[in-house]
Structure 1
């Protein structure tokens, strides 16, 4: 009978050890999952922040592009005006010299 009691105690101790090890590993895994969730949430927030910054930057680029187009158009119109004056003046000089 004492051998049987010793076997029961040994098996009970082993089972307790297995249970404790399992509980410890489960707790460690839960902690790692919680940490991973925290990292994932932080990355999601950072991603959203970067998306918002990208939208703002794209709007600024679009606005700058419109301004540049306006400036180029104004410059083009000014150059056309100057060349028309020069052409007109040239025609007047040619006409004046031939008359």
Structure 2
């Protein structure tokens, strides 16, 4: 009977140690999972931001074209302003095509 009690006590100690170690492994796995999740979320945000880079390049191209036309537009607007200051018939002459 004593042998059985000693073996039972040893078995309970082993079960307790195993339970403690499994709990430690579980906590560590949860910590790793949280870290991996944060990295994954950061990666998704980076990917979402880099998706728009081609759109920005295309936008810069169009802005360059618009800015290239600004000097001519400025000259045309200055001509309209000067005409409007001296013409008593405006805006009729603008609509009539006399500008």
1:16-74 CA-to-partner distances (Å, cap 9, x unmatched) read 11121122223323333332232122111112123433333233222212222222134
The runs of at least 4 aligned residues of structure 1 exceeding 4 Å deviation read 1-4
Which residue of structure 2 lines up, in the alignment, with residue 54 of structure 1?
A: 56
Give TM-score, length-normalised by structure 2: 0.55
Q: Which has the higher contact order (CA 8 A, sep 6+)?
A: 2
Q: Which runs of 5+ in 1 are unaligned?
A: 83-99
- Number of equivalenced pairs: 82
CA distance in 1: counterparts of 2:54 and 2:35, whole angstroms:
28
Which residue, out of 69, 72, 81, partners 1:70? 72
RMSD: 3.1
Which residue of structure 2 lines up, in the alignment, with residue 25 of structure 1?
A: 27
Give TM-score, length-normalised by structure 1: 0.55
